[in-house]
Amino acid sequence: MLLAQRTSLRIRTLSALAAGLAATAATIGAIAGLTAAITVAVVAPLTYLLRRIFDGRHLAANGS
């Protein structure tokens, strides 16, 4: 009886640990996805605008 209780406790503990690891992996995946979305939505257009601004200054400085 005691052995069965210990085995059951181990199984529940391992199940809880596995669930915790799965939740952690899902959270890390969500953070990575959010980071990628922010990069695409903010950094890429900002880079494009800065490139246009500095290209314009370069052309104006050369008198073209």
- Supply the DSSP string of 3-58, one letter for each residue: HHHHHHHHHHHHHHHHHHHHHHHHHHHHHHHHHHHHIIIIIHHHHHHHHHHHHHHH
3-state DSSP call for residue 52? helix
Which structure tokens are listed for 39? 């990069």
pLDDT band at 63 (very low <50, low <70, confident <90, very high): low
pLDDT band at 60 (very low <50, low <70, confident <90, very high): low
**pTM check: above 0.85:** no
Q: What is the pLDDT of residues 2-39, one digit of tens each?
A: 778 889 999 999 999 999 999 999 999 999 999 999 99
The pLDDT of residue 61: 65
